[in-house]
Amino acid sequence: MLEQIIRNDPKEGGIVKTHLIQICGLKASTAEKYLAKLEEAGYIRSFEEEWGERTRIRYKILPLGIERYSWFLRINAELYVGGDL
């Protein structure tokens, strides 16, 4: 999820929750749990915005989330040198 938030963070600020859930291929209930954990850990921030007559939720990556994701990439690269699993 962090990768998708980083990759799909448009200049207007953050990725729309429903879009994030869709591109991650998760059920809404599962995604809600992951998003809550990521926000509690300080990796992401959610905020509401008015969209016509509706309100939608967006997520923005925070510096700690970027740092942790870069850790993951380094560890993953060390473990899977040469692409072997």
Domains of the chain by range and CATH?
Answer: 2-83 (1.10.10.10)
As a whole number, mean pLDDT of residues 42-49 equals 95
Distance, CA of 67 to CA of 84 (rounded, Å): 25
Q: Is the distance from CB of 60 to CB of 5 less than 8 angstroms? A: yes
As a whole number, mean pLDDT of residues 51-59 equals 93
Asked if pLDDT for residue 36 goes beyond 90, the answer is yes
Q: What are phi and psi of 55, to 5 degrees?
A: -120, 135
Count of residues for the chain? Answer: 85
pLDDT, residue 84, reads 60
pLDDT, residue 80, reads 82
